[in-house]
Amino acid sequence: MKYMKKLIIITLFATLSSQYVSAQAEHEFSAYAGGGLSTLLYSPSKGSSNAGSGGEFGVGYTFFSGKLQAAETGTVVRAKWGIHSGLGLGLYGAKAKVDKETTIQEKIPDSDNGDLFDLHTTLTGYEETQHAMFLNIPVMALYEIEPYYFMAGFKFGIPLTGKFKPKNATFSNEAEYKQYENRLKEQEFAGLGTFRQKSPDGSVELGLTVMLSLEGGYKWRINSIFSLYTGAYFDYGLNNALKSSPSPFVNYNYTVENPSGGFTTNSVMSAFTEKTHIMAFGVIVRLAYMK
Residue 256 phi, psi (nearest 5): -65, -35
pLDDT at 102: 85
pLDDT at 217: 97
Decide if 13 is inside a domain: no
Q: Specify burial of residue 249 (Cβ count, 10 A radius: 0-12, 13-18, 19+).
A: buried
Decide if 259 is inside a domain: yes
Decide if 12 is inside a domain: no
* Radius of gyration, alpha carbons of the chain: 30
pLDDT at 18: 39
Decide if 10 is inside a domain: no
Are the C-beta atoms of residues 135 and 87 closer than 8 Å to each other?
A: yes
Q: What is the number of structural domains in the chain? A: 1
Half-sphere exposure of 268 (CA within 13 A, CB side): 29
Are the C-beta atoms of residues 28 and 81 closer than 8 Å to each other?
A: no
Query: Taking Cα atoms as reference points, which of 133, 158, 39 lies closest to residue 93?
Result: 39
Decide if 92 is inside a domain: yes
**Structural domain range at position 44:** 22-290
Which residue intervals of the chain are DSSP H helices? 2-19, 268-271
Q: Give the tens place of pLDDT for each residue, 144-196.
A: 988 999 999 999 999 999 999 998 788 888 888 887 777 777 666 566 778 77
pLDDT at 74: 52
3 state DSSP class of 287: strand
pLDDT at 20: 42
- Dihedral, 154, 155, 157, 158 alpha carbons, nearest 10: 100
pLDDT at 262: 63
Q: Give the tens place of pLDDT for each residue, 63-96.
A: 988 655 554 555 545 568 999 999 999 999 999 9
Decide if 70 is inside a domain: yes
| Residue spans of the chain under pLDDT 50 | 1, 3-23, 71, 76
pLDDT at 122: 87
Decide if 1 is inside a domain: no
The span from the CA of 80 to the CA of 66, in Å, is 7
pLDDT at 78: 56
pLDDT at 77: 53
The span from the CA of 271 to the CA of 282, in Å, is 30
Are the C-beta atoms of residues 15 and 35 closer than 8 Å to each other?
A: no
In terms of residues, how long is the chain? 291
| Bridge pairing between strands 209-221 and 169-177 | unpaired
The span from the CA of 88 to the CA of 190, in Å, is 49
| Bridge pairing between strands 26-41 and 182-184 | unpaired
Decide if 17 is inside a domain: no
Are the C-beta atoms of residues 19 and 72 closer than 8 Å to each other?
A: yes
Strands of the chain (E only): list them.
20-22, 26-41, 48-51, 53-64, 68-70, 79-109, 116-145, 148-166, 169-177, 182-184, 193-197, 202-203, 209-221, 226-237, 250-252, 263-265, 277-290
